[in-house]
Structure 1
């Protein structure tokens, strides 16, 4: 159950979103309701939905008692899982829904939850490992990390079914999830040099902005000229607030000369967004993948540049509190209330980062490379590890 409140000319309208047996209901509860009245109206409507749905076929298959297996199919239970996920993570990015609808439902959809066996999971793994994706001239197998995320989504659905007594136990618990060597989520020096050679000017500008400003992909693409502010010590960017407190957004970030050049580029501009070529991170994703393929860099996600930003600041000797402030992450305890005069320390941090980045781009072998990174000369043509660390999602 989810209640959305929208301000209209009549007042605040309360809308209920409720999934029941694979169908979504969005009735209007009323206007300017108190929280108690809103909840009462929602419960009344939910009871009416349940009553009107009791058709003869439902009476033949009553809701099972605790401990009895459910007659729901995998496809019928997925909306229940998505409703739960929406309540747990209101700002969920939707990747789980894409995995479920594009891959898992076509394979498991018609099976009853109680009929899903380990053999079905093994068949799914074999199918996904054998399929080829991508354009005709560059067909490739599905990455092990992608299959691992799909298995994590499958397990999350079945485990929730167990918790809600729609399933007695998860029979895929021993499904052998793909194992592989996980790469460090930072860009190495030789990779950055290869990307500079392969990237278009606008892609390289965005990559450099990520390494020097540290904002997330969507927020970088949103940067507008109106966000810039010039002070006595130089230019600063003031991002718009984030939609959720989970993903921190800094109040202000100083721009070093590399960040300024990355934003303005070398071609004349009319104004507006600096990276208007892309709508958001999703529209840029495939451009970045093709750039990395041309560069011979494997499994480097654009978000890994934010990890690199943080790692390089650490290697430059910037203390933890300054790094957290540049990233927009909260400081532990009451530190955020008692530490003041950040501007000079933030400016010093990005100045150090600029010098470090220039050393990396110059190909200096004696540059202080991030911990766990391995310096490989540009001419060697070596490749990075082929996979990245993936945390299973609910």
Structure 2
């Protein structure tokens, strides 16, 4: 009969079970009580090797309780979402991703059962079933964030979401309107929204920023609009007016003098009264919502022959116009309300016309330098000939 007594070791112990397999025992780093290993091993050597790995993990502070990782993803995701300090819109998007795409496929799995191959298979299944890539990217981002928290909480050792490029949306290039096309859409849309289109394009404002503008935010004399708040539509909290996402979002943006008459007429005709009255409102005079604007927008695009344009493309157009005008990176960041230089650099890179202007300016510098060099050489040549003549007359 196999010996069931374990040999005394410096760390933990190994013993052979009646089945012939080997079991390990080691002190729990938190309770200091001996605990059995999660599995058994075919040989004493294998068991001792496993014990050495556990000892090394404990010494490095990398040991995780195998029992802790047995909580399922569904059990962990609920409290995870509740405990996060998210904006209402972000909370809605995360909740949808968890409910529709994480829990049905992975919810019953324990956290320590979710491996990188399993995540890869889950992602492929979503794409194969026809779920759009942006939606799959969002679901993957949420899963990665959940598993990061599980790592931080010591429930698992490593985040299994390690698929290169899976968390990045490949956004197709959006169209940029010409100034004439912006006015074409503005003239085609219902009168109460004409100035909304112009300000979105020529001040690079988002729909939510425009919907939250109050009369006191418009300075016609200085031709400046102050962005201090944004409106967000959510399923859980309804219509929410809040501060912009970042401090950079709170900004003052100058608008062209050409649209001042349109803005003056709009304020006198369509806006709510009083300093805090909304500048842009819906057809019944209440808060402007995407739902009560969408049909009007689509009808205007059809009339203008620009059906493929999104409202956000107006802001994209404004950013491109600003970059083409020669705005610096810092100026673009301020105008766009971005804390990062990334977006500003993208717009500067996109404006090939500016690159040509820069090349022409450098070319001008080259020509000026070459002109000066030719003048210097001509002057040096004249001086040399004069010295030669003077030297010859003196002999």
Give the TM-score, by structure 1 length: 0.50
Provide closer, same or farther for how the CA distance between residues 124 and 259 of structure 1 changes in structure 2, counting only shifts above 3 A.
Answer: farther
RMSD of aligned alpha carbons: 4.6
In 2, Cα distance between the equivalents of 1:186 and 1:179?
21
**1:21 is matched with which residue?**
none
**1:81 is matched with which residue?**
80
Distance apart, 1:225 and its partner CA: 2.8
* Offset from partner CA, 1:75-99 (integer Å, 9 cap, x none): 211134335642xx67873232332
Match of 2:149 among 135, 138, 160: 160
In 2, Cα distance between the equivalents of 1:181 and 1:195?
30
Match of 2:308 among 283, 297, 305: 297
* Offset from partner CA, 1:53-93 (integer Å, 9 cap, x none): xxxxxxxxxxxx8242522111211134335642xx67873
* 1:183-262 paired onto structure 2 within 5 Å: 183-184=172-173, 187-189=176-178, 196=185, 200-201=189-190, 205-231=195-221, 235-240=223-228, 242=243, 245-251=246-252, 253-258=254-259, 261=262
Distance apart, 1:221 and its partner CA: 0.9
Distance apart, 1:220 and its partner CA: 0.8
Match of 2:318 among 279, 304, 309: 309
* Offset from partner CA, 1:171-204 (integer Å, 9 cap, x none): 4434873888543456354995699399743666
2:162 corresponds to 1:173:
yes
Provide closer, same or farther for how the CA distance between residues 230 and 259 of structure 1 changes in structure 2, counting only shifts above 3 A.
Answer: closer
5+ long unaligned stretches in structure 1: 1-64, 132-140, 333-368, 374-394
**1:145 is matched with which residue?**
134
1:183 match: secondary structure: coil
Distance apart, 1:279 and its partner CA: 4.0
Number of aligned residue pairs = 258
Distance apart, 1:207 and its partner CA: 3.4
Q: Of Structure 1 and Structure 2, which has the larger fraction of its residues in helix?
A: 2
2:138 match: secondary structure: helix
Query: Bigger radius of gyration, 1 or 2?
Result: 2
Provide closer, same or farther for how the CA distance between residues 371 and 78 of structure 1 changes in structure 2, counting only shifts above 3 A.
Answer: same
Distance apart, 1:160 and its partner CA: 2.2
2:155 match: secondary structure: coil
In 1, Cα distance between the equivalents of 2:158 and 2:296?
42
In 2, Cα distance between the equivalents of 1:322 and 1:177?
33
1:168 match: secondary structure: coil
Q: Does the Cα contact within 8 Å between 2:64 and 2:154 map onto a contact in 1?
A: yes
